[in-house]
C-alpha cells in the first residue's frame, strides 16, 4: 500500500520506535494519528512532523476496552500500526498478577482488538494495511522474558493467520520483527545494553525497512542483525539446544537477589 495520502493510526507513538515510525511515515506523506499515554510528548511530536492534519489520541492500552475506543476516535484508518508494547521482563515467580494482565493486554490483546475494529472499515473500502510490531523475542526466548516473548510469539501467530484470512478483502497484514535498535530501542529506553555479540540496527534502517514492508505488503520484515536473524532460524530447528545455551550464558537474567 502506498503511504502518501493515507491516515495512519500508530500506537505507542510517544516511545522511541514510535517516534521513528511517525517521522518516517509523515515524511512519506501520511497523516498521522498518534496514540499513547504522554499527551505532552504526543502533541510535541505531532507539531514537529512534516505535513498537516496530524492528530493525537491519549489512551492507556492497559485499560479494558481502550483499544476499541482508540479506533473509534480515530475515524478513518487506512493503515494501523500496533506498536505499543511493555517489556514485562522478570522471572515469572516474581511477577505480579497485575503485571501479567497489563502485558497481555498491551502486547497481545490490544493489537488483536484494534485489528478486529479496523478490519470492518477496511473491508468496506477493499483496502488497508495492518502492521503488527512483534519482536525477535517472538522467535526465541531468553530467561526473564517469559511474558514478553510469549506475547510476541502469539502476535506473530495471530498476524500470519490474519494475513491469510483477510487477503481476499484487499487488506494486507505485515509483521515487523525488530532485534536490538540502537538509541531508541527497548534496551536503550531502560538504559540497558544488548547482550554481547547480538548486534544492533540503526533507527534509520528500522524506518527504511518499515516503510518498505508496508508499501510492498511484506508478510514479515525481520529488522535485526545477521546474528539475531540466524539465532531466530536456529531456534526453530533446535529449540532445546538454544534453551540449554541460554541457561549457561544468561543464568541470572530475570533473577532477583
- The closest of 113, 82, 72, 48 to 57, measured between CA atoms, is 72
Which segments of the chain are extended strands (E)? 7-10, 31-36, 55-58, 79-82, 128-133, 171-178, 220-223
Instruction: For residues 195 and 247, give the distance between their C-alpha atoms in angstroms, rounded to a whole number.
Output: 14
To which residue does cell 544492533 refer? 200
Q: Is 164 exposed, middle or buried (0-12, 13-18, 19+ CB in 10 A)?
A: exposed
Return the H-helix or E-strand segment holding 109: none
In angstroms, the CA 217 to CA 219 distance is: 6
- Spatial separation of the C-alpha atoms in residues 136 and 162, rounded to whole Å: 19
The whole-angstrom separation of Cα 144 and Cα 178 is 19
- The grid coordinates of residue 226 equal 545477521
Q: Residue 234: how many CB atoms within 10 A of its CB?
A: 15
* Beta strands 7-10 and 171-178, pairing class: unpaired
**Catalytic residue ranges:** 148
Q: How far apart are CA 173 and CA 165, in angstroms?
A: 10
Amino acid at each position: 500500500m502506498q503511504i502518501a495520502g493515507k491516515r495512519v493510526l500508530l500506537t505507542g507513538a510517544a516511545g522511541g520506535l514510535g517516534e521513528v515510525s511517525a517521522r518516517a511515515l509523515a515524511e512519506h506523506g501520511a497523516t498521522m494519528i498518534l496514540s499513547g499515554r504522554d499527551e505532552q510528548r504526543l502533541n510535541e511530536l505531532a507539531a514537529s512532523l512534516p505535513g498537516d492534519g496530524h492528530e493525537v489520541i491519549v489512551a492507556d492500552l492497559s485499560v479494558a476496552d481502550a483499544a476499541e475506543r482508540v479506533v473509534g476516535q480515530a475515524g478513518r484508518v487506512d493503515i494501523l500500526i500496533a506498536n505499543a508494547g511493555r517489556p514485562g521482563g522478570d522471572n515469572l515467580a516474581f511477577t505480579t498478577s497485575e503485571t501479567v494482565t497489563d502485558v497481555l493486554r498491551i502486547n497481545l490483546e490490544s493489537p488483536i482488538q484494534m485489528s478486529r475494529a479496523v478490519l470492518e472499515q477496511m473491508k468496506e473500502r477493499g483496502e488497508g494495511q495492518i502492521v503488527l510490531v512483534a519482536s525477535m523475542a517472538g522467535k526465541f526466548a531468553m530467561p526473564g522474558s517469559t511474558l514478553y516473548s510469549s506475547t510476541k510469539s502469539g502476535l506473530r501467530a495471530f498476524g500470519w493467520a490474519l494475513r491469510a484470512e483477510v487477503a481476499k478483502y484487499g487488506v494486507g497484514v505485515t509483521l515487523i520483527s525488530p532485534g536490538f535498535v540502537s538509541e531508541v530501542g527497548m534496551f536503550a529506553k531502560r538504559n540497558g545494553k544488548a547482550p554481547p555479540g547480538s548486534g544492533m540496527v540503526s533507527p534509520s534502517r528500522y524506518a527504511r525497512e518499515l516503510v518498505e514492508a508496508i508499501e510492498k505488503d511484506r508478510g514479515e520484515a525481520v529488522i535485526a542483525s545477521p546474528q539475531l536473524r540466524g539465532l531466530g532460524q536456529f531456534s526453530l530447528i533446535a529449540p532445546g539446544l538454544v534453551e540449554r545455551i541460554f541457561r549457561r550464558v544468561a543464568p541470572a537474567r530475570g533473577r532477583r537477589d
